[in-house]
Every structure is written in structure tokens, then in C-alpha cells.
Structure 1
């Protein structure tokens, strides 16, 4: 028989109800997807998420191993260091009751400071050979490991709950979130190398700009892990503020700004910080705006906004845009090259918004690892 003699119209004709090929091609898939469509989708989606969970486990174990290796190789850690780190991974913080929001910021601030102080002391107990720089590096490495541990636990919980209920709609939110979760997890894993070596990260561009402006000035410690300096510029006095480098810290900018405002009454505040870019935006692009440019849980921003409002001081912001990965990994040349441009824009803001004999407070916000002053 010649295949050219077959009539396709007759083969798939809808008028021939006894045609087995037509029945198999159309009816069986419809019946299968009608009764088992969600289960098929659940299995396909589960396979994809299972692969990502395996990656999260790998990232978590790798970061933990690198932290332990760093402690044992470089800092001669105590024998119980591994056990203590396992305990750190399960630490949690219970936020204060917020039924009445009045006064909640001081409560949150107190909780976070207590946690920071306790963690710092526990990190110091891991090795007798730690200076301030090493303590800050280990704290940051521990934070990375803890974050990866938490991401793994949350993703696993959502995944197993959906599997247990055999419920496809329940797994849809996780399917939508997983690309963003994995992007963050990958960035955290890649951050370990820069943190161990004490190299500047993308988030340190704000302190880098202000640190450069501090060259040749006398630096004073104004509050915990935070330094300030004074400088003259075009008949204006500049108060320069950043976290104390080259340790891996963001300092306490809220406390420092409040002290400087109460003491010196600057006419404007200019804040420099890294900012997450939107997809399609160029890394290292610089933008100007208004308001307190500072991340975190919000206690420092509240403190800065509060003191600025009470003293009627405008706040200007300059941000350097970058991705999540660029913000917490080794600073790229594309971002570091923007330091001079940002400095020029800060000076321009000062000239446009102050007069001779007035003053400005310049705040470099971010992790100042590897960035001296």
C-alpha cells in the first residue's frame, strides 16, 4: 500500500465515530487531563522544585563548611565551634506586640541591639584569636549561613505541605516565588568568598565615597563602630559620617545622625547608599532623590527621619543601583568607578541647597567591609 493513497480528511474525519485513531487522539487525552490534570502538573512542578531544594541544601552545607574551615584554619577555633554554629542556625527573634504601634520602634531597636550584642559575644567565644575585624567577618559569614538555612526550611515546608495535601493550587505560590528565592540564595553563596577575604562588596559604595572625602581629616568615633570627620568645602562645613572600616559593619547611623544633628544643626542631610536596580536598568547607574536612603528593618531610618523632621532639615539621597548579587558580593569595577561621579553629585547638591557659612551632613550608608576611612 502506498502512503500517498491515504486521505487525511478521511483518516481524521469527525463523521466516522468508529475511527479508533480519532478516538485515541482526541478523547483519551481529554479524559486523562480531566481527571488527572492537576496530579500531572503537581508531579512536573514538584520535580522542578525538588531540584531547587537540593541546590539550597548544597548552598547551605557549603557555606557552613566554609565558615567552619575558616574558623579552624585561620582562627584556631575551639573544639565545640561546630556545635555552637548549629545552635546559631536555629536562633530566632520574636517581634514585639504591634496592636498599638505607638512606641514599637524603640522596642524593635532594643530587641535587635540585644541580639547583636549577644551574637557578638558568642562569636568571640568561638576562638580566642579574634580581633574586631575577624569578629565582624565571622558575624557576616554566620548571617549568610543562617539566611540560607532559613530559606531552605521555608521552601521545604511549603513544598512538603503541598505534597502532603496533594494540592496543586497550594504549590503555585511557591512555583512563582522560587526564581527570586534561588537568585537570593545564589547571591548569598557567592558572598562567602568576599567576606572571608575582607574585600569590599557592592553595598560598600556609600562608605567608599564618604571614606574618600574623609582623606586628610581627623576621624573620631561618634558611636559604636561609627566614625565622623569635619571638612571645609566652598565656605561650607561638611560633617562626614560612615561605619568604621575596614570591619564588616554598617555601624549605627541612626544614633550617629541624631547626635550630630543635636550638636551641630546641619542645614541639609545627604545620604549615599546602594539600591536594588529594576530589571533592564544598568548596574552602577546613579539616581538622586529625597528621603532617608537606608535599608534594614527600619529603625535607623525612623530615627533619622524623626530627628530631621523635628529640626526641619531636608534629606537628599543619592543611590547607586545594583542587583542583589552585586550588592553582597565583591564590588565590580562598574560600580567602584562611579565613586567619583557620586562625589561630584553630592558636592553639587550641597552647592545648590546651602549658602556660604552653612553646613551639611553627608552619610555613607552600607557595609564598610574592606573600606577604610
Structure 2
């Protein structure tokens, strides 16, 4: 009985101490400082992971450039990993897509010139495109790390609990995205098709029996195929290097050359699946399926609208991770299904009709 009374007294003392500690922390703000410390520690740990991935990506990029015969490869990667692009003024929307396209192409040409002027000998364009993508991944990882570091230091400097809490809550997604980018390095380094290559893969399979092949736009090819008396023009980025080409500009030129005598424009592209959807599932719709910031998409839309050409789309769904890493088997199998769907759609047109089919996406590992 006496032992039970002593135990009860001890428990009461512990409860009172805990209650007093709670009141102390609540009134002094010590609980908030403790939470900030724990959250900041977690953020720093994940931030170091991202920094390590950025360093690994940088090393891989330097090694690839050295193998290609680029002198001062380390200086070049360090320089381009800090490269940035300023979006055009959008307050005045007139010709914004034209300005946007000019800015993006200026950046791409600058990167190419930086590599060219450090080359000891000429290299295939495909190898150059693959190297550019590796540097772009390094640039992205470097920027992610620096932005996370900025917000963390800013929040600690200003004792901003809510900013640290928000950063802590989104760090799992940011870390996952960074790991995906890091895994993509091996894929592009070895020029293997990625999930986003499914559009060009469909185009490649459609143009196997092409009558002729030409380049309607920079880094973009077109092939002409006969489909039971219908003229099929297939457009894709020029492979097998890692590039998306300029499909919008190519389609616009082809339509103008034919003075609008085109009966269908059909785009095939990868699409980000929703949670719960199956990778490799296929959906059809209307409009231009292309994920560029605007210039290429609007070129397709303007060409179709100007001449009243039906604009249709087929998308193959996948996750963000699948889009930039090795193409999964389900995605490759979906490409075969889409090829048959495209041919069936073209055969619905009358004899003598002309259709343009564009395989949109990064053509890494997919030739023509």
C-alpha cells in the first residue's frame, strides 16, 4: 500500500514537472525554437544530398566533355552550371512567343558555341547534344541546391518559423525530383531512349518505309510515307542525339509550302500521368500535344487555325521519373499501339489526302 502511494507521488511530480516545462516552453517560445532546429537539421541533411548529386552530375559532365576532346572541360561546366535565362516581358503580350523562342535559341546557341570553341576536333552533333543535356542537368541540380540553401539561410536569419516549416514540408518532393535528375545522367550519357522519347519512337516506326527525308527546320527531320494512297508526312527531332528539335516551326513551314493543302495534323507526345493512372495508358484528344513553353505549340496552332486543318493529339501517360530516365517496357509497348492507331486514323481520310504526324519529345537514342 505504501509502495503504491510512493509510485503515485512520483507520477504526480513527473506530471507537474512536464506541465511546468510545457508552460515554460509555451511562454518563452522554446518549443518553436526546438521545432525550427529539428526542421532545419532535416532540411540541411536533404540539402547535402542534393549538393552531392549536383557534384556527381558535374563530374560526369566533365568526364564526357573530356572524352569528346573538349579542353578546359571543368571551367566550361562550372561556367554553364551558373547560366540563366530571363523570360521576356509579358505585360505587353505582342509577339511574346517570338521573343521567347529567340531567347531560348540564343541560350542554346551560346552553349553550343562554348563547346565548339573548346573542341580540339569536330565531333558528331548527336554527341554534342548529349553533352549539352548533361550540363543542363548539372545546371538544374546546382540551381535547386542554391535556392534551397537561400531560403533556409534566409529563414534562419529572420527566425521565420513558417518559412522553414513550408520548406521542410516540400523537401521530400524536391529530393525525389533531384534523384530523378541524377539518375537521368546515366541515361543521357549512354544515349539510351527515355520515356519522353516515345513520340519520336512512334515517328521513327512510321517513317521506316519513307520515300524521302528532309530537314524542314533546325535539328528536325521529316519523312514522306504512302499509306494506302494517303500521303503521310512524319516529323520528329533529328536523332539519335538528345534534342527536341523545332517541330512547330517544321510543321508551319510544311503547311505553308503546301498552301494549307493538309487534311490532318496529329501530334504524339508523352504526358504526365495522374496518381492512380497506369504508365503506358493512351488517351486521344484535340489540340497540339507538346510541352514546350509556347513558341513551338503556338506555331502548330496558328498553322492549323489559318487553314482550318483538324488538330488532334495522342498522348502516352507516364510519371515524371519515367519521362527522363530509361524508357520502361510498358511505354515502348504503348508506342506500337499508337503506331497502329495513327495508321488507322490516316486511313479514315479520303484517298489522296495529306496528313502530318509529329512525334514530339526528346529523341535521345532514337534515329530516323
CA drift of 1:2 comes to 6.9
**Equivalent residues of 1:266, 1:313 under 8 A apart:** yes
**Equivalent residues of 1:209, 1:342 under 8 A apart:** yes
Q: Which moved more, 1:247-256 or 1:232-241?
A: 232-241
Structure 1 residue ranges, 4+ long, deviating more than 6 angstroms after superposition: none
**Structure 1 residues 210-289: aligned runs within 5 Å:** 210-217=203-210, 218-264=212-258, 265-289=261-285
CA drift of 1:98 comes to 2.1
1:113-133 deviations in whole A, cap 9, x for unaligned? 111111111122332242211
DSSP 3-state at the match of 1:219: strand
**Equivalent residues of 2:61, 2:77 under 8 A apart:** no
Aligned length: 363
Name the structure 2 match of 1:21: 14
CA distance in 1: counterparts of 2:137 and 2:120, whole angstroms: 22
Q: Which moved more, 1:257-266 or 1:45-54?
A: 257-266
1:141-160 deviations in whole A, cap 9, x for unaligned? 11111111111111111111
CA distance in 1: counterparts of 2:126 and 2:317, whole angstroms: 27
Name the structure 1 match of 2:136: 143
CA distance in 1: counterparts of 2:6 and 2:304, whole angstroms: 83
CA distance in 2: counterparts of 1:93 and 1:175, whole angstroms: 28
**Equivalent residues of 1:247, 1:370 under 8 A apart:** yes
**Equivalent residues of 1:222, 1:228 under 8 A apart:** yes
**Equivalent residues of 1:123, 1:138 under 8 A apart:** no
User: CA separation of 1:6/1:97 partners in 2, compared to 1, >3 Å: closer, same or farther?
Assistant: same
Is 1:204 matched with 2:200? no
Counterpart of 2:366 (choices 339, 362, 371) is: 371
Structure 1 vs Structure 2 CA RMSD: 2.0
Gap regions ≥5 residues in structure 1: 14-18
CA drift of 1:228 comes to 0.7
Counterpart of 2:127 (choices 105, 123, 134) is: 134
1:156-196 deviations in whole A, cap 9, x for unaligned? 11111111111111223322332222222111100111111
CA drift of 1:283 comes to 1.4
**Structure 1 residues 84-163: aligned runs within 5 Å:** 84-129=76-121, 130-163=123-156
Name the structure 2 match of 1:310: 306
TM-score between the two structures when normalised by the length of structure 2: 0.93
Name the structure 2 match of 1:77: 70
TM-score between the two structures when normalised by the length of structure 1: 0.92
Is 1:55 matched with 2:49? yes
Gap regions ≥5 residues in structure 2: none
